[in-house]
Amino acid sequence: MSKSKKPAPRHSAPSDCPHPKGVLIAIGGHEQKEIKDIGGEEGRSDDELAPESILKRFVQELHGDGPVVVIPTASQVPEEAAADYVKIFTELGVKRVEVLNIQTREEADTEECINVLREAAGVMFTGGDQLRLTALLGGTALIRLMKERYAHSRFVIAGTSAGAAAMSTPMIYQGRNDAGFFKDEIHITTGLQFMHDVAIDTHFVARGRIVRVAQIIATNPGSIGLGLEEDTAVVVTEGQELEVIGNGMVIVVDGRQCLGNTIHEVRPGEVFSIRDLRVHLLARGQRYTLPVQEYMYV
């Protein structure tokens, strides 16, 4: 290369690199009493039903006359989880709600499922187990089409609890609420990758999950930790612009300038250290720009 030419700057995106045109809504789940408030079954301990006010925002973000597609794959009681959303979305004025109760990878590649998604205005992932979402849907034709629609159209993708955690990469899939002090207590895998270099955790304040997110950031300080409290969500536009909605708090954990990180030095089962994490506490109406690299969305 000629000495007169300057090398291209590292980690910079092309000036004409497009942002995704779709909208993501990641919801932190909520308490059982809020399920009762909007018609859920008394005594139900599952956290798969998102707060109605947040679902209203989901409906408001929809464009076109296509159906809302509910995907209850993460749930151990998918029919019940789907029925809750069919009822609520219908009450909120959605004219057509479809359910894709996908339980095998083969189903996610069928023309029937693809055709339903092709017509849809938006998708809602219920709560449950996020590892079921990645294991059953990751790399399938359904997810490829969903990413294509998210990138090139005003397509809305929402998820609550496990459905929110699966949106990001890296994705937490195992770890007790009080875990995280010791190296290797937290298990991480690749999520559905609608958001890159962002680790989403839900029920964040109620279940005391700050330490487990800190361990994820320690293993990869280039990622941002996004802790969503119950009855709280972020609306993500252009792949990186966050708006907080709901009644709780969103905690952003930024380790890009961290010091004293010992996660690579200590043995499994030992306590790690990390210093100089930047933590932002954001309430409803607050905005935050994720420091993501735009070229990832080409």
pLDDT per position in the chain (298 positions), as tens? Answer: 444 443 333 334 444 557 999 999 999 986 333 344 444 444 444 445 566 689 999 999 999 999 999 999 999 999 999 998 999 999 999 999 999 999 999 999 999 999 999 999 999 999 999 999 999 999 999 999 999 999 999 999 999 999 999 999 999 887 666 667 898 888 899 999 999 999 999 999 888 889 999 999 999 999 999 999 998 999 999 999 999 999 999 999 999 999 999 999 999 999 999 999 999 999 999 999 998 665 444 4
pTM of the model: 0.86
Q: How far is Cα 171 from Cα 195, in angstroms, rounded to an integer? A: 10
Q: Of 61, 185, 230, 243, which one is the catalytic site residue?
A: 230
Instruction: Check residue 174 and give its pLDDT.
Output: 76
CATH numbers and ranges of domains, the chain = 23-37+45-297 (3.40.50.880)
Taking the CA atoms of 144, 146, 149 and 152 in sequence, report the sign of the dihedral they define: negative
153 annotated active-site: no
What's the pLDDT at 46?
Answer: 44
pLDDT at residue number 190: 94
φ and ψ at residue 123, rounded to 5 degrees: -130, 145
Choose, from 48, 75, 185, 203, the residue flagged as catalytic. 203
Concerning whether 161 is annotated as a catalytic residue, the answer is yes
Q: Can you read off the two tokens belonging to residue 170? A: 């890296």
Q: Distance between CA atoms of 214 and 44, rounded to whole angstroms? A: 31
Extract the runs of DSSP E, i.e. beta strands, from 141-249. Answer: 156-160, 168-169, 171-174, 187-189, 195-196, 198-202, 224-228, 232-237, 241-246
Q: Quick check: is 48 catalytic?
A: no
Q: Which of 75, 161, 168, 223 is catalytic?
A: 161
